[in-house]
Structure 1
């Protein structure tokens, strides 16, 4: 089985929707890194940053100048960024729709890995049947189901331990045009020893190995984080990478019931380690981003501010819409 981190879509492909966030792929995707950088330091204010500063920050992560400029241009075309120009200087900021999406996504990532609610023993089952000539629609539906925390128990039958939310119901209606049926109920175990339990829709061992790999990768960094030895570009790179890695876990392990998991499940240790690294590097990373931006701006940018995991749980909102030059083109339970 391929690594669970090979899941292509963390954000669903919205097809013809006006906002299309980049795919979250294994490794560094220039578009994904650009979105993470802007979200981590400008999500609340949506302040515009000089394009040269964004290119410089991406360059510190290994993205070439050409690759950075291409990523910015594509994000603008996809409605993720808004472009503006003052004289010969172009700047970009997160669009309002992208900021709202990223805020909700950040809140979901943290809530999904900290929930302590007891499971009611029920499963939500989504059954669908789409003709072979609707393969694009079928792929979009599967990507959306994965994003919602579902996994395939059988072909055309996906399950989740969570209730179907109103937002999820609306997405399924949009993608299936009625070719779907949803149930919620308890498993009726068979006497046969070869029946498949719902939890087997997830590869529990593979998810456990992913948690273990995360802990092995980031635990050695903690002393440097706590002592303040990691700063500058290194702090920004580490903070971006730890977010891009941890954000995958709610899709791999979507609040699976602890009653059905191994006793030493590593969800909580991984969540605590993520918070220690992400929050611990917030201040030095923010200072570095400010310093890079100031090299390409006429004045300091007060809208640059790193948020913490507590901010994400509370919901980071684009509360302030600073004045910008006008854009000249976008560069219930069961019984």
Structure 2
């Protein structure tokens, strides 16, 4: 888990314009992760250009991610190739789980909550920001008095990895007892209507394929990055405590259906246009 667990996105409901990092993570997750390859920077520039990202923006994002230990770069002849590191693999596997396996609501909730409170020195601004980002990604919402809450049993230690903040954090598991109003708890901890608006915006945007996407590879990256941005702050709340017309599951069904339709052609284009070397060749 790292500070980049939550991909960057434009502010505002729907996050309609993915930033370069969001698209790059979608590309790496779909076409590099678990394939044992490095891909030429020129290929990455070509692919993100298809999705509307300028060469300058892509190069800046690649450099920033490399400085943070998220990309391995190697030169072979006149070409520079990039591959994944252990840190970026962990991020991408986490995103893959959220996108394809977890589901957008919890239909098997057992009634437990994970409660977390933290108090850090004023000088620890970076650590506080990183922890808050990780808590949001892990499904926590701020309740009151510095108390964060998430449905179910959350594995907290990985959220603290690398922060040196263990002694500043207290974690409990609990169940709500009368007279606690769970619907009120959920409304206080999460902006449920804003979450719903994100899903409605995704449904509206993907009613038809984006007109500016020139091919299936670009559409696939826009689809996956848009979906990840939509779900990034969703805590997967218990279905029994959500409105009957909750739009998350219809949005998920559309994402799965469109992905199944687009991905074969996207992979065919990627196989044709990507210049790659094996990880073994990159280490020679």
1:109-131 Cα distance to aligned partner (Å, 9 max, x none): 33332565422222221122334
Contact 2:72 2:85 in 1 (8 A): yes
Contact 1:46 1:95 in 2 (8 A): no
1:276 correspondence with 2:257: yes
Report the counterpart of residue 76 of structure 2 in structure 1: 86
1:24 correspondence with 2:8: yes
Decide which moves more: 56-65 or 93-102.
93-102
Distance in 1, Cα, partners of 2:96 & 2:280 = 26
Contact 1:159 1:198 in 2 (8 A): no
Report the counterpart of residue 206 of structure 1 in structure 2: 194
The answer for unaligned runs of 5 or more in structure 1 is 1-10, 14-19, 225-229, 304-320, 328-335
Written as runs of structure 1 = structure 2, the 5 A alignment for 1:1-335 is 12-13=2-3, 23-26=7-10, 27-113=17-103, 117-165=107-155, 168-172=156-160, 174-190=163-179, 197-200=184-187, 201-221=189-209, 233-293=214-274, 297=275, 322-326=279-283
Distance in 1, Cα, partners of 2:122 & 2:152 = 29
- Offset at 1:184? 1.9
Distance in 2, Cα, partners of 1:64 & 1:119 = 44
1:223-271 Cα distance to aligned partner (Å, 9 max, x none): x9xxxxx9x9421222112211211344432220111111121222111
Change (3 A) 1:92 1:21: farther
From the CA coordinates, give the structure whose radius of gyration is larger: 1
- Offset at 1:322? 4.3
Decide which moves more: 53-62 or 67-76.
67-76
Between Structure 1 and Structure 2, how many residues are aligned? 275
Contact 2:105 2:248 in 1 (8 A): no
Decide which moves more: 261-270 or 174-183.
174-183
- When the two chains are superposed, the root-mean-square deviation of aligned CA atoms in Å is 2.9
Q: Report the TM-score when normalising by structure 2.
A: 0.84
Distance in 2, Cα, partners of 1:215 & 1:23 = 20
- Secondary structure class of the residue paired with 1:141: helix
Greater percentage in strand: 2
Distance in 2, Cα, partners of 1:134 & 1:75 = 23
Q: Report the TM-score when normalising by structure 1.
A: 0.72
Contact 1:21 1:98 in 2 (8 A): no
